[in-house]
Amino acid sequence: MTKTILRALAGETLPTPPIWMMRQAGRYLPEYRATRAEAGDFLSLCYNSDLAAEVTLQPIRRYGFDAAILFADILLLPQALGADLWFVTGEGPRLSTITDADGLAQLKPIDEIDEVLNPIYETVRILSRELPKETTLIGFAGAPWTVATYMIAGRGTKDQGPAHALMQEQPEVFEGLINILTKATIEYLSKQIEAGAEVVKIFDSWAGSLKGDAFTKYALEPAREITQALKARHPGIPVIAFPREAGNGYIGFAKATGADCVALDNSVSAEWAAEHVQVDSCVQGNLASSHMVTGGQDLVDETRRICKAFAGGPHIFNLGHGITPDADPDNVQRMIDAVREA
């Protein structure tokens, strides 16, 4: 029988939605913390194929999720393109910045990125062998706009102001970066698929700060180009798009890009999304990750409400964003039980 997530992505309405969880391999799990300590630091964990595969498998062993998502980071791609990347404990990633044409010209050719990314493909190969046969393997990359915001600012920012400024002040540099990242993302995800990924997801975490024509040009169009290129190379490969906080931009996104599923954050209601988004494609989401911290009957009730709202069409249950480090692992099991008993 075809795996449940692949059935949902193909448009099938299932009596019980398949489940996985963004950042399901992560700091809320004691076994993850132990493996990360063994690796030494976050980047060393990402590039150690055996340990990265191990942390990807940990939540599958503990919870029996219907999918595993490759353990990596969206900023490995800019590092492969030649950006300096490091992580500051308690503060997050730092990168060397791209702010002008000279910085853009110093990026490596796309055909050289595999020199850095080969360990990631090896992680995928290990997982494709070791995952339970019923578990779907998801590969991923950051969307060009979101990755560009980090490369331009050198870190995460609240309003993506430096990227918006470069877009306005040096549009040829900004668009050159988006173009490079779009083409590099196609190659990166294609290699993940060749290594064994059965689904790929494009994370556009900062899509919500793009408005109007900018959303179309820098969120929707790159997603369409990546999706179409991957489907031309790998016929039948399902693609999940996540233009987070897109609001009304979620409407028609699947049709416009060719994505098989639109992942939803929790700023939109499941009832609204069922009416406006699920009519075009599978939807994924969208429980607020705060419920993984607070738990209780509210967690159960909200989980059941989302399942009921999306019961009329293809749905993959997930959070509206990644699980946070302060989440209670027991609440994850409560959520899974609520979905499967709904």
Average pLDDT (26-31) is: 97
Does the N-terminal peptide bond of residue 286 adopt cis geometry, omega within 30 degrees of 0?
Answer: yes
Q: Radius of gyration of the chain from Cα atoms? A: 19
Contacts of 215 (CB under 8 A, 6+ apart): 207, 243, 246, 249
Residue 1, pLDDT > 80, answer: no
Percentages helix, strand, coil for the chain (3-state, rounded to 5) are 55, 15, 35
Residue 194: predicted pLDDT: 98
Tell me what pLDDT residue 24 has: 98
Nearest to 214 by CA among 252, 249, 245, 187: 249
Looking at residue 89, its pLDDT comes to 82
The letter for the amino acid at 274 is A
> Which tokens belong to 174?
């900004």
Q: Cα–Cα–Cα angle for 339, 134, 285, nearest 5°?
A: 35
Q: Go through the domains of the chain in sequence order and give each one's CATH number.
A: 1-23+264-342 (no CATH), 71-240 (3.20.20.210)
Contact between 214 and 103 under an 8 Å Cβ cutoff? The reply is: no
Per residue in 104-159, pLDDT (tens digit) is: 999 999 999 999 999 999 999 999 999 999 999 999 999 999 999 999 999 999 99
Instruction: Show which residues are catalytic.
Output: 23, 27, 36, 73, 150
pLDDT tens profile 244-274? 999 999 999 999 999 999 999 999 999 999 9
**How far is the C-alpha of 123 from the C-alpha of 115, rounded, in Å?**
15
**Pair 324, 297: CB distance under 8 Å:** no
Would you say residue 342 has pLDDT above 90?
no
Across the strands, what pairs with 86?
94
Predicted local confidence at residue 233, as pLDDT = 98
pLDDT in tens, 184-214: 999 999 999 999 999 999 999 999 999 999 9
Whole-number Cα distances in Å, 194 to 122, 137, 191, 237, 263: 11, 12, 5, 11, 24
To the nearest whole number, what is the mean pLDDT of the chain?
97
Of 164, 294, 143, 271, residue with least CA distance to 219: 143
- Give alpha helix (H) positions in the chain: 4-9, 30-39, 42-47, 49-63, 76-80, 101-105, 114-130, 144-153, 161-169, 171-195, 213-215, 221-233, 253-257, 270-276, 291-294, 296-309, 329-341
What pLDDT, on a 0 to 100 scale, did the predictor assign at position 262? 98
